[in-house]
Amino acid sequence: MIDSLTGIIVGIVVIVVTAFVAGEIVIRVISGLARRAGVSPAVIRDVRDAVTVIILGVAITAVAGITGLSSEFTTLTISGVAGLAVSLALQTTLTNIISGILMLHDRILHLGDEIEYSGIKGKVVKIGFRNTWVQNDKDAIVVISNSSLASGPLTNHTASIRLSKLLKADR
């Protein structure tokens, strides 16, 4: 009885410490990358809070499994439902982030490019995780979601040389 209780306590301590250390590492890496990308402190704080909630949920689930409060099936079911809820809640945000990454990877946009999208014409002044900022001829900043830009039609007036080289390389 005492050996099993000691094992459970040690398991809980290991899970809590591991979750804390892993969470701190993930938060520091994501925060550092986000700062270098020019992401606002409010977004970094939101990401930090989301990672903390996810790590806390994983730790609670693991502790419930070790103590015998839940079976593996229950844990998997709860994890699946939670994952589905999170993915549905973040669907638009993730679409914008993935679109931004793909546009950068495909070299469609660079800072300083003159673009035209949906009647908006201007110079790209910032490419963020979720949005691209375009300064129009009246010096107003127009914020366009990356998923909208990726779905087009997007005209890049200054990237014809760069993009034509990519097209030749792909052939």
Residues 141 and 67 in one domain: no
Does 96 map to a domain? no
Amino acid residing at 23: G
CB 92 within 8 A of CB 103: no
Residues 110 and 81 in one domain: no
What is the per-residue pLDDT across 72-92, written as a single tens digit (0 to 9) for each? Answer: 677 677 778 888 887 888 788
What 53-57 contacts at long range (C-beta under 8 Å, 24+ apart), as own/partner pairs, is: 54/86, 55/19, 55/20, 55/22, 55/23, 55/26, 56/19, 57/82
Cα distance between residue 63 and residue 17, in whole Å: 12
CB 126 within 8 A of CB 142: no
Please check the confidence at residue 41 and state whether its pLDDT lies above 70: yes
Residues 63 and 120 in one domain: no
Percent of the chain with pLDDT over 90: 8
Does 53 map to a domain? yes
Domain that holds residue 118: 102-170
**Count of the separate structural domains present in the chain:** 2
Does 85 map to a domain? yes
Does 71 map to a domain? yes
**Which CATH number covers residue 73?**
1.10.287
Cα distance between residue 37 and residue 131, in whole Å: 13
Cα distance between residue 103 and residue 163, in whole Å: 12
Residues 53 and 130 in one domain: no
Q: What is the pLDDT of residue 94?
A: 80
CB 108 within 8 A of CB 98: no
Once rounded to an integer, what is the mean pLDDT over residues 28-38?
A: 75
Listed residues 89, 111, 146: the one ending a domain:
89
Listed residues 89, 120, 146: the one ending a domain:
89
Residues 11 and 44 in one domain: yes
Does 123 map to a domain? yes
Please check the confidence at residue 24 and state whether its pLDDT lies above 80: yes
Q: What is the pLDDT of residue 135?
A: 94
Count the neighbouring beta carbons within 10 Å of the beta carbon of residue 66. Answer: 17
